Amino acid sequence: MAKDPENEARSRALRNIRSAKARPVRDAAEWAAAITQGDRTALAQAISLIESRRESERPAVESLLQAIPAPSHPTRRIGITGVPGVGKSTWIEAAGTALLERGHQVAVLAVDPSSSRTGGSMLGDKTRMDSLSRHPRAFVRPSPAGDTLGGVARATMETIQLCEAAGFDRILIETVGVGQSETEVRRMTDAFLLLMLPGGGDGVQGIKRGILEWADVVIMNKADGPAEQIDLARSSLAAFRGALALMQAPPEGAPPLLGLGSGLDAKGVGEWVDRIESRLAEAAEDGSLDARRRRQVRDALVALLDREILMRVKSKPGFEAAWKRLQSESHRTQSAAFDALRRLLDSLD
């Protein structure tokens, strides 16, 4: 009986993830050296470490990140978002292949949604990008979003740094799915690409502030098939073009690239890759890319501060008991939620 290639790829991906989680205790400097020398197993294990929520593993994470050197080569980070079913994985595999053909080393960080009940995640993107995940100069890593908003995983920024240290000069970040908080991915990428579905919303929907006004590239995807489908894609693109005309330009001042596309058209995706690369080269030359990276460092510090404060509050003696008491009493009290939280924090101090 013939083996199912998709099941084979899924099984292989799950085996790799399990072996990465079985990380050995190792010296941070040796581990960092293995990563910078291209050891994929060491890289996968390091990512599993920084994704861990165990407080006992934070010192190891910090030691490893301190040992990781800055990349010795220019890197570019591209975020890709869009509603579920828009074809993100198909487009990314075609774009990653185009970048490989241009001599780049490509890492794909695919963030999968997590169950709000169990916390589990399918982690299926590696099986949907089978040819890319098997390429010797590509690395595909699915990660669970957990309870993190913004369409990215909690440790995505640290994972980007690890991949860049490992020699990957093009990092593609696929987000969970489109939403108002999804713009968080723009705060860690050099180009933010929004894939749209033909007929997915009229001009009024497009005028909503949020994702559309932050996009550096807007592609009306799935502009293929019968003439009716292509006509629908063109009319949808025209509606969004009108909505964009009413918005302010992004902080960098560059208007977004806008057009039709299809993840099934390798040549067309390659042309989009060239346009994005050209835009990034211009940004690097005029200094706007460096300015964007500096803002990202500041944003990352704010996020780290928020996370550190939360961890310290939760680790205070008596927090768990006070928090459970507040939750159980909240439905019986008339005081505002922020009032109750303020009293809880005062009691911890």
Residue with tokens 């809880």: 344
Q: Is residue 327 part of a domain?
A: yes
In which domain, by residue range, is 326 found?
A: 316-349
Q: Is residue 295 part of a domain?
A: no
Q: Which of 16-20, 312-316, 317-321 has the lowest mean pLDDT?
A: 16-20
Q: What is the pLDDT of residues 285-313, one digit of tens each?
A: 999 999 999 988 888 788 778 878 888 88
Q: Is residue 307 part of a domain?
A: no
Statement: residue 181 has pLDDT above 90? no
Note the pLDDT of residue 274: 97
pLDDT band, very low/low/confident/very high, at 193 (cuts 50, 70, 90): very high
Q: Which residues contact 264 (CB under 8 A, 6 or more apart)?
A: 90, 94, 224
Note the pLDDT of residue 273: 97
Q: Is residue 116 part of a domain?
A: yes
Residues 49-68 have a mean pLDDT of: 85
Which residue, 267, 287, 307, sits at the end of a domain?
287
Q: Are residues 240 and 120 in the same domain?
A: yes
Residues 34-50 have a mean pLDDT of: 91
Which is more confidently placed, 336 or 233? 233
Distance CA 194, CA 214 (A): 9
Q: Are residues 178 and 242 in the same domain?
A: yes
Which is more confidently placed, 98 or 119? 98
Note the pLDDT of residue 129: 79
Q: Is residue 1 part of a domain?
A: no
The mean pLDDT of the chain is 79
Note the pLDDT of residue 3: 57
Q: What is the pLDDT of residues 251-283, one digit of tens each?
A: 666 788 999 999 999 999 999 999 999 999 999
Statement: residue 226 has pLDDT above 80? yes
The CATH number given to whatever domain includes residue 231 is: 3.40.50.300
What is the amino acid identity at position 341? L
Spatial contact of 75 and 169, defined as CB atoms under 8 Å apart: yes
User: What secondary structure, in 3-state letters, does the chain show?
Assistant: CCCCHHHHHHHHHHHHHHHHHCCCCCCHHHHHHHHHCCCHHHHHHHHHHHHCCCHHHHHHHHHHHHHCCCCCCCCEEEEEECCCCCCHHHHHHHHHHHHHHCCCCEEEEEEECECCCCCCECCCHHHHCHHHHCCCCEEEEEEECCCCCCCCCCCHHHHHHHHHHCCCCEEEEECCCCCCCHHHHHHHCCEEEEEECCCCCCHHHHCCCCHHHHCCEEEECCCCCCHHHHHHHHHHHHHHHHHHHCCCCCCCCCCCEEEECCCCCHHHHHHHHHHHHHHHHHHHHHCHHHHHHHHHHHHHHHHHHHHHHHHHHHHCCCHHHHHHHHHHHHHHCCCCHHHHHHHHHHHHC
Q: Are residues 137 and 236 in the same domain?
A: yes
Q: Are residues 95 and 233 in the same domain?
A: yes
Q: What is the pLDDT of residues 138-164, one digit of tens each?
A: 999 987 654 443 334 457 888 999 999
Q: Are residues 275 and 321 in the same domain?
A: no
Q: Is residue 51 part of a domain?
A: no
Residue with tokens 């939403």: 179
Q: Are residues 337 and 258 in the same domain?
A: no
Statement: residue 126 has pLDDT above 70? no
Q: What is the pLDDT of residues 90-107, one digit of tens each?
A: 999 999 999 999 999 999
Q: Are residues 250 and 335 in the same domain?
A: no
Q: Is residue 304 part of a domain?
A: no
Residues 200-219 have a mean pLDDT of: 65
For the ranges 38-42, 53-57, 110-114, 334-338, the one whose mean pLDDT is highest: 38-42
**What pTM does this model have?**
0.79
Which is more confidently placed, 317 or 170? 170
- How many structural domains comprise the chain? 2
- Residues of the chain with pLDDT > 70, as a percent, come to 75
Note the pLDDT of residue 272: 97
Q: Are residues 283 and 343 in the same domain?
A: no
Q: Are residues 160 and 264 in the same domain?
A: yes
User: Please, what is the angle between helix 266-286 and helix 88-101, to 10°?
Assistant: 70
Q: Are residues 189 and 260 in the same domain?
A: yes
For the ranges 16-30, 44-58, 112-126, the one whose mean pLDDT is highest: 44-58
Which is more confidently placed, 54 or 86? 86
- Residues of the chain with pLDDT > 90, as a percent, come to 36
Which is more confidently placed, 19 or 298? 298
Q: Are residues 328 and 279 in the same domain?
A: no
Q: Is residue 50 part of a domain?
A: no
Q: Are residues 329 and 234 in the same domain?
A: no
